[in-house]
Amino acid sequence: MHQTTSTASHPRGSLELVRRFFANVPLLAWFCGALVAVILERAVGLSMAQSLGMPRIPVLFGFLVFLKQPALIPGALGYVLLMNILPICITAKIGAPVFNLVSRILYKMPLVVTALVHLAVLYAVFHFWADVNAYRMIMLKMMLISILLTLSLNVINGYMGEFSCSHPGFMALGAYAASLFTVGLFVNDQLFGPAMMTSDYAVVFFPLGLFFTGLVSALGALVIAIPSFKTRGDYLAIISLAFTFIIKSVLENLEFLGGPRGLSGQPDWSSLPMVFIIVVFGVWVINNFVTSTMGKALNAVRDDEIAAEAMTVDTRKTKIIAFMFAAFWAGVAGGLFAHVLRFVNPSTFGIQKLAEVLAMVYFGGLNSVYGSIVGAVSISLLGEALRPLEILKWIIIPLLLILVMIFRPRGLISFKEFNIHNLLKPRG
């Protein structure tokens, strides 16, 4: 008995040592450490990579190198250590007293200011990291969009406890609605004729367009919600799955939207700042919703509907609003998605997309904003890192998901509230 506990606690013990070593490092220090690392990489990354025997900077922390060119593994490891891990850890640990001082000053200011400063540093990290090449840029944007998508699905599958399969459908509605808006109005296009407006004010028109895009998806959601929320149970899963397929085949048969070939020529409006700001805003709004008593009513409906009704909760209205709300953000994510790829076709929004989003939600954790962020980021990164394995990737990711389901049936970080005060506070 004693033997097993000591061996079992050993790895946890060393992790604990690392944790204790970095215990006084505030979040700001980690962000600034990452900023130092990405700026360093920009300055000397290429020459460092070449001196370690690689033709160029490894794009994804060396993951792609591991599987593609095993001979370069030592070089890639060395690069990751020298360019990513060491600069971050050293800056964070050595700078901790200074960053704690700054954190303490920030902590006294209104929360908005503190949060905005952190977000600005985070954005700078993303900017410099993704600036190295186009692959990183697309990957990063897709990852951010998948955070929004995952979180919005979590509102239905986690917070509300129903099982919805319609997210690819909502995303498709959003992608096509946003594309129609931009291609139709702002671009010289064969299908829709010459541009009706100049694209000088993209910064204003694009978010506005995305708002209406979201409303289109929300209307789609109303079509599902009205029949499905009369009862509980499996009806929503079936109806929503049918919805996804119906949207897909309708889009395939509408010639003016390009049919199965899809729609292209979207302007390049999903810039990194645009995606970053909309995703951060979306996460903020969704977090506001699920922490309000209106949003908590979803949990009450999920855990005991009869008790919820007896406590004055209008269960049907609550469910329909939440469902439309989730669809709204899925539509916005779809609109951003279409403008990152600058091309959409119906087959993107099929069963594979559904599997991907569901995997992100269930891997990360139900009923948790943290969980959705972790799920979206880790499944996106994993998907990219395992890309060289091609078809094997679709065996490894589900296997991992099964493991998570065995050891943490509700996902990695489930039922945990997003505590921004705790996150941003100085540590010492």
Report, in Å, the least distance between residue 290 CB and other proteins. Answer: 9
Q: Is 348 helix (H, G, I), strand (E, B) or coil?
A: helix
Report, in Å, the least distance between residue 226 CB and other proteins. Answer: 17
Among residues 69 and 315, whose Cβ is nearest to other proteins?
Answer: 315
Report, in Å, the least distance between residue 412 CB and other proteins. Answer: 17
Report, in Å, the least distance between residue 338 CB and other proteins. Answer: 24
Among residues 1 and 306, whose Cβ is nearest to other proteins?
Answer: 306
* Cβ(125)–Cβ(38) below 8 Å: yes
Among residues 28 and 155, whose Cβ is nearest to other proteins?
Answer: 155
Report, in Å, the least distance between residue 374 CB and other proteins. Answer: 19
Long-range Cβ pairs for the range 91-98 (8 Å, 24+): 91/29, 91/32, 91/33, 91/36, 91/37, 92/22, 92/25, 92/29, 92/30, 92/32, 92/33, 93/21, 93/22, 93/25, 95/29, 95/32, 95/33, 96/24, 96/25, 96/26, 96/29, 96/427, 96/428
The tally of CA atoms less than 13 A away on the side-chain side of residue 161 is: 16
Q: Is 200 helix (H, G, I), strand (E, B) or coil?
A: helix
Among residues 118 and 302, whose Cβ is nearest to other proteins?
Answer: 302
The contact set with other proteins (CB under 8 A) reads: 285, 288-289, 292-297, 299-300, 302-304, 306-315, 321, 325, 367, 415
Among residues 315 and 378, whose Cβ is nearest to other proteins?
Answer: 315
| Cα(217)–Cα(228) distance, integer angstroms | 17
| Cα(15)–Cα(13) distance, integer angstroms | 5
Report, in Å, the least distance between residue 309 CB and other proteins. Answer: 4
- What element of type H or E holds 48? helix 27-51
Report, in Å, the least distance between residue 329 CB and other proteins. Answer: 11
* Cβ(317)–Cβ(325) below 8 Å: no
Among residues 109 and 254, whose Cβ is nearest to other proteins?
Answer: 109
Among residues 234 and 303, whose Cβ is nearest to other proteins?
Answer: 303
Report, in Å, the least distance between residue 286 CB and other proteins. Answer: 8
| Phi, psi at 234, each rounded to 5° | -85, -5
CB contact burial 156-193 (16+ within 10 A = b; e otherwise): bbbbbbbebbbbbbbbbbbbbbbbbbbbeebbebeebe
Q: Can you say how many angstroms the Cα of residue 393 is from the centroid of all Cα atoms in its chain?
A: 20
Among residues 223 and 307, whose Cβ is nearest to other proteins?
Answer: 307
* Structure token digits, residue 125: 């990290």
Report, in Å, the least distance between residue 134 CB and other proteins. Answer: 35
| Cα(198)–Cα(179) distance, integer angstroms | 16
* Structure token digits, residue 370: 């943290």
* Cβ(72)–Cβ(80) below 8 Å: no
Residue 42, amino acid:
R
Report, in Å, the least distance between residue 303 CB and other proteins. Answer: 4
Among residues 30 and 325, whose Cβ is nearest to other proteins?
Answer: 325
Among residues 132 and 420, whose Cβ is nearest to other proteins?
Answer: 420
